[in-house]
Structures are given as structure tokens and as C-alpha cells.
Amino acid sequence: MLTVESLDVAYGRAQVLFGVDLQAPAGSLVCVMGRNGVGKTTLLKAITGVLPVRSGRVTFAGRDITRLRTHERVRLGLGYVPQGHETFPQLTVAENLQVAVEAARTDKAAVDEALDLFPALRGLLRRRAGFLSGGQQQQLAIARALVTRPKMLLLDEPTEGIQPSIIIEIEEAIERLHTEAGLAILLVEQYLELALRLADRFVILDAGEVVRAGDKEDLRDESVRQLLSV
Ligand SMILES: Nc1ncnc2c1ncn2[C@@H]1O[C@H](COP(=O)(O)OP(=O)(O)O)[C@@H](O)[C@H]1O
Ligand SMILES: [Mg+2]
């Protein structure tokens, strides 16, 4: 479904990703791991077109999307939940979702479907997003991405800074999107136990390069823990 080949990405003259390869087949859940600053967010931004690539190729659903604009990638079925969720704090929950409906030119039914995953948001529709807890904002951000009816969802550290009880809800939602809705998911996650529960496959980045990739079983290896420990 998603293939990344030999991806180089730079901020100006500072190159951050070096020849990154990654594959996420349809219906798979691939976890991108690695310490802070290794390039995980940069990788997701390059896949979604928020950042241009210096060289390499991104293929999605059989198409070369390397040079497409972000909104074109969204229309092809690539949903993106950025790190720190980036909801509109001054807008209500309902308005945040409506923005996505208009941007993606979908219908109201898509909002209902997205809210089915996070029923608690239904009671908060008229609250400003800025007044939600971190966990609720994260749920809203995921719901907003789902409004575009993606085939694949990119999630950048959805459990970062969120209290444990809500982490469980977010984990369950990701699990359902994967197993029930059959979405392919690329999940950036630093928490190894969560990755072990959710992922089929993983890649570990270090200093902008893929240093390990494999099946979930390989994640239990001691060398993996060393690559993730600070
Ligand atoms: N806008 C930017 N301009 C310049 N350098 C950046 C920018 N954003 C991130 N970087 C650098 O790129 C590297 C990778 O960052 P990032 O992709 O955010 O890592 P991660 O998500 O793994 O923590 C870091 O060294 C970071 O300082
Ligand atoms: Mg990051």
C-alpha cells in the first residue's frame, strides 16, 4: 500500500533522513520507532508532502505520490495525525470536524462514523478544542483524520504526554481501526510495550537511517531495547 524508497530529506543544508526504505502493505500496522530527534516526524511529513524530499520515492496505492501536494495525497486516502495533534483550539469539536469535511469534500455521515470510534466526543461537540484534555484533543485529531475516509492512517506519537487511562482508549481505537476497519496504519510510537501489542512490523530509525526492521517478534530482542533507550 505504502512504499518508501531511498528517501533523503533535508531542512535547508541539514540533511535529516538518509536513504530511508519502508514498506507498509495494505491492512498492516507498522511501527516507526527510535529516540527523540532521529527523524520520525520528518519521515511522516515527507510521506504526507508537508516537507519536500531531496531524493527518493514515495508510492501509495500503486501511484508515485512523491511530488503530489498534501491535499492530493489526502484525497488518495492518506490520513495524517501530526505530533501534538494540532487541533484548532478556538473552534469547537464540531467545527474542527466540519473543517475536515469541507477540506476533504466528504459528507456529514463521515463525521458520524468517526465519532462512533470515540463516543465520548459526542458529548463535547460544542466545547472549544482548547478546553479539552490532551487525550480528548488527540481523539479529536484522530477523528478529524478519519473524516477524510482514509485507506491508511499515519499517527505521530498519539500517546505522547497523555494520561494512562486515555492511552488505553487510544490504543483500543487504533486496534479497532486496524482489525475491524482494516486500515493500514503507520504508527510512530516510542513506548515499546504498546508497539509489541499493536504492530505487525517495525522499523527503527537512528540518526536518520533505518537501523533495524522486522516482524513484531524481533522487537523483543535486547539490541532493540538499546536502540530505544536514552
Ligand atoms: N523545521 C526544522 N528545521 C531544522 N531542523 C529540524 C526541523 N525540524 C526538525 N529538525 C531536526 O531534524 C531532526 C529530526 O527531527 P524529527 O523528525 O522531529 O525527529 P523525531 O520525530 O524522531 O523526534 C532533529 O535533529 C531536529 O532537530
Ligand atoms: Mg517527532
CA 16 / ligand 1 centre spacing (Å): 7
Residue 56 lies in a domain: yes
CA 107 / ligand 2 centre spacing (Å): 31
Domain region containing 190: 2-85+152-228
- Provide, rounded to the nearest whole percent, the portion of the chain with pLDDT above 70: 100
- Provide, rounded to the nearest whole percent, the portion of the chain with pLDDT above 90: 78
Residue 217 lies in a domain: yes
Q: Residue 188: its pLDDT value, please?
A: 97
Q: Above 90 in pLDDT, residue 225?
A: no
Q: Above 90 in pLDDT, residue 105?
A: no
Q: What is the pLDDT of residues 150-200, one digit of tens each?
A: 999 999 999 998 888 889 989 999 999 999 989 999 999 988 888 889 999
Q: Residue 5: its pLDDT value, please?
A: 98
Residue 145 lies in a domain: no
Q: Above 90 in pLDDT, residue 73?
A: yes
Nearest to 203 by CA among 10, 8, 39, 11: 39
Q: Residue 205: its pLDDT value, please?
A: 97
Residue 61 lies in a domain: yes
Q: Residue 41: its pLDDT value, please?
A: 98
Residue 210 lies in a domain: yes
Q: Above 90 in pLDDT, residue 85?
A: no
| Beta-bridge partner residues of 202 | 31, 214
Residue 144 lies in a domain: no
Rounded CA gap, 139 and 130, in Å? 13
Q: Which residues contact 98 (CB under 8 A, 6 or more apart)?
A: 111
Ligand 1: atom nearest CA of 156 is 21
Number of structural domains in the chain: 1
Q: Domain holding 78: CATH number? A: 3.40.50.300
pLDDT band at 103 (very low <50, low <70, confident <90, very high): confident
Return phi, psi of residue 137, to 5°.
Answer: -65, -40
Q: Listing from the earlier edge strand, what are the strands of the sheet with 201-206?
A: 78-81, 152-156, 184-188, 29-33, 201-206, 209-215
41 within ligand 1 shell (Cβ under 6 A): yes
Rounded CA gap, 44 and 119, in Å? 28
Residue 175 lies in a domain: yes
Q: Above 80 in pLDDT, residue 230?
A: no
Q: Residue 37: its pLDDT value, please?
A: 96
Q: Above 80 in pLDDT, residue 128?
A: yes
| Beta-bridge partner residues of 155 | 81, 187
Residue 120 lies in a domain: no
CA 118 / ligand 2 centre spacing (Å): 24
